[in-house]
Chain A
């Protein structure tokens, strides 16, 4: 129970950090910010790695395996597509 309280502290503080850090975003960046943040939510990949790496029973391994695939799609696809979008903005600024 103590670790849970401790984790709740961390969670709450992280929420406030998130609000402060991203409070003002120009509309131009809404889509890239969302897809970038989306990629970060793929952090659950780390949980999936730990669950799968610990050779448990077959069921657990398969659930974890699917979790790894899902999360990796989220991470790799999310960061790549964000980069692609942001480069379109950049290319245009260079043209100026």
Chain B
């Protein structure tokens, strides 16, 4: 039997053509990624990459191994519909959840490809004994990485969505258990090499890997989610690459490796922004120690000052320079639009307004920039941490909205603090700092913040959106 799309006599030509188009697609993926990393060319970069994917998929339909199309057409239609609906409907605040799910699907698909390939061995006329050792090893690796990515992403999704607690989930012997499970996968792989036709061994590699994915992400605290998502993104790429090894397909290997590399870069950027190493994130269970360490000591003794909307309106309206430090709390309260209106009011009064954005301000890398872009905040007003930090001493008022740990001066001064050494926005250096917060509860990472008790600090308690609306009203009344 032959591929019905390829006329008889053209089989050889089709093979060469497919490989050449794959080569073209790989080039377009690389260029697309390069363009995605610069603001001016990002839109075209994304389109170039999607065109490359489209071309690669179309040309694959001419592969000589493809004999029927019913399942292909059905699968692509179902997947496209679900993907399109998810992409259109998702709220920008939920981007981390969506990316987590997509990572999981990518990893899961790669594990399934390797599995389907394993199952169909008897159909290819090949004996199980005839499978080379290296193919069995790559199958095992592919299922291992793909399965971890799949369940790990689902757990990350659950934590981000709030279905699972964002708190680290720890139990004694956790690390030993994880290490044991990884050893078990290695042992099972050796057994599979010795007895390739034993599908129970194969299935147990998958099962254990799925379990590892759950156990590795479960203990990771909510504050580390940007790192976890970046890492899972990288792993979904490596999983695709591994599947490429299994079916001996270059475009999978290359495209997967590109994603693996880009995900790893983002992971390292996130780790640096939180002053944590990757091993700490995965094995450290951030946040669990922190609460006990600093919790009780901070409650008494120190006093805070509250500010009223009218006073704050006067402070900001007659300021020269105001910096807004947004955190995820701003997004939770859906206050992006109100904050932009406040900024507009201030700008009308010739106040210089900027946003200081910490690399981990959202729940995934660059999340806050997307949220503010959605609210039409002008691009030039957004400033990175390194860019804005020298400006704080020259700033009259800093509005910290829904952010906590990223402005905690303990990171600079208190070696006992769990976040010591983490690069922060030096909001405390400004003449006045106003912190918008629901209550005095510690933030996402569960660490108390010295900034609240400083002499130049004021607290504005309440829901961020309501607080900002009252500030906006007060600003409009000043004449």
Contacts and interface: CB of A to CB of B under 8 A. Distances in A.
A40 to B, nearest CB: 5
A14 B120 contact: no
A92 B377 contact: yes
A67 B43 contact: no
Contacts of A38: 99, 102-103, 106, 233, 236, 259
A57 B117 CA distance: 11
B78 A72 contact: yes
Interface string A52-84: 111111011101111111111111111111111
Contacts, number: 401
B82 A69 contact: yes
Given A65-B71, A77-B82, A34 B230 contact: yes
Contacts of B257: 10-11, 14-15, 17-18
Nearest to A72: B79
Contact of A73 (B36, B42, B47, B105): B105
A64 B71 contact: yes
Contacts of B34: 21-22
Q: A-side binding surface: helix, strand, loop or mixed?
A: helix
Interface string A16-37: 1111011111111111111111
A15 B246 CA distance: 18
Interface residues of B, number: 119
Q: B-side binding surface: helix, strand, loop or mixed?
A: helix
Interface residues of A, number: 85
Given A14-B241, A70-B105, 6 more contacts: A4-B135, A33-B266, A34-B366, A38-B106, A42-B102, A72-B76
Interface of A: 1, 3-4, 7, 10-11, 14-19, 21-57, 59-61, 63-93, 95-96
23 contacts: A17-B258, A21-B262, A28-B379, A31-B369, A33-B36, A34-B262, A36-B33, A38-B106, A42-B105, A44-B239, A44-B240, A51-B247, A53-B68, A56-B124, A61-B71, A63-B119, A64-B116, A71-B109, A77-B87, A79-B49, A81-B90, A83-B43, A85-B92
Interface of B: 3, 29-30, 32-34, 36-39, 42-43, 45-47, 49-50, 53, 56-57, 60-61, 63, 65-69, 71-72, 74-76, 78-80, 82-84, 86-88, 90, 92, 95, 98-99, 102-103, 105-106, 108-110, 112-113, 115-117, 119-120, 122-124, 132, 134-135, 138, 229-230, 233, 236-237, 239-241, 243-266, 269, 357, 359, 362, 364-367, 369-370, 373-374, 376-380, 382, 384
| Complex A-B, nearest 9 residue pairs according to Cβ-Cβ distance, in ascending order | A72-B79, A18-B261, A30-B366, A53-B66, A68-B75, A77-B83, A76-B83, A30-B365, A14-B257
